[in-house]
Amino acid sequence: MSQATDTETEAQDLTLVQAVRDGLYGEMQRDDDVLVMGEDVGENGGVFRATQGLIEEFGDDRVIDTPLAESGIVGTAVGMAAYGLRPVTEIQFMGFIYPAFDQIVSHAARLRTRSRGRFTCPLVVRAPYGGGIRAPEHHSESKEAFFVHEAGLKVVIPSTPYDTKGLLASAIRDPDPVIFLEPKLIYRAFREEVPDEPYTVPLGEAAVRREGTDVSVFTWGAMTRPTMEAAENLAEEGIDCEVVDLRTLSPMDEAAIVESFKKTGRAVVVHEAPKTGGLAGEIIATIQEDVLLYQEAPINRVTGFDTPYPLYALEDYYLPEAARIEDGIRETVEF
Amino acid sequence: MTNQGSLGDDASDRVQVLDDAGHVLEGASVPDLPDEQLVEMYRQLWLARHFDERMISLQRQGRIGTYPSLAGQEGAQIASTHAMADEDWISFQYREHGAVIVRGLEPEYLLYWMGHERGNEWLAEKNVFPLNISIAGHLPHATGMAWAAKLKGDDRIVTCHFGDGSTSEGDFHEALNFAGVFDVPAIFFCNNNQYAISHPRERQTASPTIAGKADAYGIDGIQVDGMDPLAVYEVTRQAVRKARDPADEQCRPTLIEAVMYRFGAHTTADDPSVYRDDEEVEEWKERDPIPRMETFLRQRGLLDDERIDAIQEAARERVADLIDAAEEFEPDPGQLFANAYESDTPRIREQREAFRALRERHGDEALLEDE
């Protein structure tokens, strides 16, 4: 970025999905070993257009339309990564990632350990996750916890276009496998200024989206927006929320969680994944271990229900929205 | 029965050079190999067989962990590896010790079976990918490695070993399908030893042959007598050549089905008497690759009793030395944390430190106490 310090940085207003595309473009330009592979990513530009135009720029050796086989996509990418390439795979929807689960957890995550570092797996698995887009069954899952539980993987979920490009660049340059989950609900929800030049946002660092003193609200991805909305609404009632967007779920920014909680002594965790076994439990356990004596109230979890994700007619009831998040925060603050 | 060493069109046309007794079949052509290399193959067959016997015995004495026996299958792995260049990659399941022996057995290989990742790390020095315990999970990796070699313009090919059971896994299908579509320089080498633990080959698939499955992927399939080292060598050599430098209209990948038999148990934790008869085992032992190779080499005047004794004695000494050296290895418990990620995450740093303190506080003896 140094070349742009004394002039105005070239930038464009991009949506989150455009920032994915821009991030891929930049990394493919700076490193010939980076390639994109998946279903319909070539001529079609991806079902969400996240790879639009890349095949014209980089050719079909680097933007590869694969047969319809998730395990084959990730499994062959593990071999490519071991050989020295940097494949970025696209799984069309997170609900279709399960055929590749074995390749991700049994192989990508373990290759470095298995070979004592002789082989590494600098692989990115991109997948749009989460609900709210009126999609068929299996298109709305939010199963980040599966991957956070697996040692050897990193898990990233951006919530803004700027972060998306920077975190994706970090994920691609990372020496270890990264699961990069994209909040498809907000793929086109808003625009943000994104520099044209490649840049990185470091993995493992949370971002405080709103500073506050009464309660810390920890969230990520598509839930960041309704959480911010809830925080603004509660401000009118005199409740001052701090909203922390974790951005990377593995490794989690424990220091940021602890720092915020020490300030507020109260916390709420918001995620759209089911409550039981969800990451809210991990965050709360971390707070208990590290800063129990700062705690002034039970920590609330505002999450999806412990049911299979419904078909779309009822999905808006399933997903936490501002009213439900406000209730959860109010309960914690008023304890 | 004898297809003269060419990649035949009919997958059920099993390639064979030696008959069960080790005589060259009429019309079959013997691969054009130097005498020393033929004897070297025999020496390695003996080393593999003796290694196998000692490893089983070490497991019985509690000196190594669970071990998968190789006896009966050595010929296929040794001969196929001879047909490759040293720079070519081998990806194997876990039973294919013969391939490692050709690349040069060292004490480090034994370390894997003693529970140390060091064994897998060492394999890379021999251009062997870490062995893979999950069945067929490595097949897509082999496709990906071969694909990467092609994309990078390297001349290397990849040979991937697996068993008959693997061919029922989804990853077999996906790996061969991708290999065909992207025309990658890979050889899929099925060591069809008739059983996946207890499950017989004919209950694994209704396909008359495994080689015939290649048709579904638009690649070549060939069946070979996997206990005939000369036939395996010839078939693999042609597959290697085609992977590296295909003629017009030729596909690079090949599925080789090497038909063979596992003489021993699936692993040291298995009792094969539950699922197969001794009679069947004895029948297959008639085709043992070692006496077949021995007969062939005696007829060529390359072996006699004296030479055979010396080869066997050398194998015994070599394996004894390997065991002694491997048993001196002391693992570093800190290795637990060393390779989860390139750089320690905050949690791993914390746990590494807690583990260090735990060992200091209690001593290893207390921590390693059973129950």
**End of a domain among A195, A220, A240?**
A195
State the smallest CA–CA distance between residue B17 and chain A in angstroms. 35
Residues of A within 8 A of B335 (CB-CB) are 116
User: Do residues A76 and A151 share a domain?
Assistant: yes
Domain span holding position A91: 8-195
Residue B231: domain span: 11-327
Residues A126 and A228 in one domain: no
pLDDT band at B13 (very low <50, low <70, confident <90, very high): confident
A156 and A236 assigned to the same domain: no
CB contact under 8 A, B145 and A106: no
User: B335: Cβ–Cβ under 8 A, 6 or more apart, which residues?
Assistant: A116, B117
CATH of the domain at A114: 3.40.50.970
Nearest-CA distance B121 → chain A (Å):
4
For residue A265, is it within any domain?
A: yes
Catalytic option among A138, A139, A149, A271:
A139
Touching check for A78 and chain B: CB below 8 Å? yes
Number of domains in chain B: 2
**Is the CB of residue A312 less than 8 Å away from at least one CB of chain B?**
no
- pLDDT for B65 equals 96
Whether B2 is covered by a domain: the verdict is no
pLDDT at residue A224 in the model: 98
Would you call A48 exposed, middle or buried from its count of C-beta atoms within 10 A (0-12, 13-18, 19+)? buried
A–B interface: beta-carbon pairs under 8 A? 139
Residues B262 and B355 in one domain: no
Q: For residue B5, is it within any domain?
A: no
> Which of A76, A175, A176 is the closest to B143 by Cβ?
A76
Tokens of B233: 């060598």
Averaged pLDDT, B32-43: 98
Closest CA to A215 of A234, A196, A229: A234
pLDDT at A65 over 90: yes
User: Is B297 within a domain?
Assistant: yes
- Domain contains A225: yes
Q: Which helix (H) or strand (E) holds A232?
A: helix A224-235
Check which CATH number belongs to the domain holding B286 and give it.
3.40.50.970
CB contact under 8 A, B339 and A113: yes
Asked whether residue A120 is domain-assigned, the answer is: yes
Q: Are residues B318 and B239 in the same domain?
A: yes
Same domain, B145 and B208: yes
Q: How far apart are CA A172 and CA A152, in angstroms?
A: 15
Token duo for residue A156:
């990233």
Identify the pLDDT of residue B371.
Answer: 64
- The answer to whether B177 contacts A114, with C-beta atoms less than 8 Å apart, is no
Q: What is the pLDDT of residues A252-303, one digit of tens each?
A: 999 999 999 999 999 999 999 999 999 999 999 999 999 999 999 999 999 9
pLDDT category, B61, cuts 50, 70, 90? very high
Q: Is A71 on the interface with B (CB under 8 A)?
A: yes
Residue whose token pair is 């990264």: A178
Domain end among A161, A195, A229: A195
Domain count along chain A = 2
**DSSP assignment string, A32-57:** TTEEEEETT-STT--TTSTTTTHHHH
Summarize the confidence of residues B29-56 as an average pLDDT: 97
> What CATH number does the domain containing A308 carry?
3.40.50.920
Q: Are residues B338 and B249 in the same domain?
A: no
Q: Give contacts of B339 with chain A, Cβ < 8 Å.
A: 112-113, 116-117
Q: How confident is the model at residue B369 (pLDDT cuts 50, 70, 90)?
A: confident
| pLDDT of A5 above 70 | no
Which has more pLDDT, A131 or A3?
A131
Residue A181 and residue A231 share a domain:
no
The answer to whether residues A184 and A68 belong to one domain is yes
Beta-carbon contacts of B322 under 8 Å, excluding residues fewer than 6 positions away, are B51, B105, B106, B107, B109, B110
Do both A172 and A318 map to the same domain? no
Q: Do A116 and B340 touch (CB under 8 A)?
A: no
| One domain, residues B170 and B270 | yes
| Neighboring chain B residues of A120 at a CB cutoff of 8 Å | 342
Binding-face residues of A in 197-226 toward B, CB within 8 A:
204
Closest chain A C-alpha to B139 CA, distance in angstroms: 8
CA distance B240 to A18: 44
Q: pLDDT digits over B145-171, tens only?
A: 999 999 999 999 999 999 999 999 999
- The distance from CA A210 to its chain's CA centroid, rounded to whole angstroms, is 19
Which among B252, B266, B287, B292 is annotated as catalytic? B266
Section B241-247 average pLDDT: 97
In single-letter form, the type of residue at position B51 comes to: F
Of B95, B111, B66, B65, which Cα lies nearest the Cα of B322?
B111
Q: Hey, what are B248's tokens? A: 């017009």
Name the residue in chain A with its Cα closest to that of B119.
A115
- In a domain? residue A96: yes
* B103 & B159 share domain: yes
Q: Are residues A272 and A302 in the same domain?
A: yes
Residues A112 and A251 in one domain: no
Q: How far B134 CA sits from the closest chain A CA (Å)? A: 8
Question: Edge-to-edge strands of the sheet including B186-192?
Answer: B89-91, B158-163, B186-192, B254-259, B220-225
Mean local confidence (pLDDT), B332-351: 96
For residues B125 and B242, state if they share a domain: yes
Instruction: Give the pLDDT of residue B12.
Output: 57
Tell whether A202 is covered by a domain. Answer: no
Q: Find tokens 């046309």 and name the residue.
A: B13
Indicate which residue of B50, B262, B287, B292 is catalytic. B262
Q: What is the DSSP letter of A243?
A: E
Nearest CA in chain A to B130: A115
Taking phi over 0 as left and psi of -120 to 50 as alpha, with beta for the rest, A153 belongs to: beta
Same domain, B213 and B337: no
Q: What is the pLDDT of residue A296?
A: 98
Q: What share of chain A is helix, strand, coil (3-state, %, to 5)?
A: 40, 20, 40
Quick one: average pLDDT of B295-306?
A: 98
Looking at chain A, which residue has its C-alpha nearest residue B337?
A113
Helices (H), B61-96: 74-82
Question: Are the C-beta atoms of A169 and A27 separated by less than 8 Å?
Answer: yes
> Tens of pLDDT along B175-199?
999 999 999 999 999 999 999 999 9
Given a cut of 90, whether residue B11 has pLDDT beyond it is no
DSSP helix/strand/coil, B33: coil
Concerning whether A139 is annotated as a catalytic residue, the answer is yes
**Best residue in B339, B350, B351 for a mutation probing chain A (most A CBs within 10 Å):** B339
Q: Do residues B87 and B62 share a domain?
A: yes
Closest to B144 (Cβ–Cβ): which among A77, A116, A175?
A: A77
Note whether A26 and A71 are same-domain residues. yes
Q: Which of B118, B145, B166 to mutate to test the interface with A (most CBs of A within 10 A)?
A: B145
Instruction: Say if residue A189 is in the same domain as residue A49.
Output: yes
DSSP secondary structure letters along A114-154 = HTTTSS----EEEEEE-S-S---TTSS---HHHHHTSTT-E
Residues of A with Cβ-Cβ distance to B175 under 8 angstroms: 72, 75-76
C-alpha–C-alpha distance, residues A262 and A279, integer Å: 20
pLDDT value at residue B370:
76
Residue B320 lies in a domain: yes
Backbone angles phi, psi at A65, to 5 degrees: -75, 120
Q: How far apart are CA A27 and CA B259, in angstroms?
A: 47
Active site residue B54: no
Percent of chain B exceeding pLDDT 70 equals 96
| One domain for residues B38 and B176 | yes
Residues B63 and B141 in one domain: yes
Residue A6 scores a pLDDT above 90: no
pLDDT at B3: 42
Has residue B1 been placed in a domain?
A: no
Rounded-to-integer distance, Cα B103 and Cα A31, Å: 34
> Are A170 and A261 found together in one domain?
no
Is the pLDDT at B260 greater than 60? The verdict is: yes
What per-residue confidence (pLDDT) applies to A4?
Answer: 45
* Pair A214, A303 in one domain: yes
Chain mean pLDDT for chain A = 96
Which of A148, A175, A195 corresponds to the end of one domain? A195
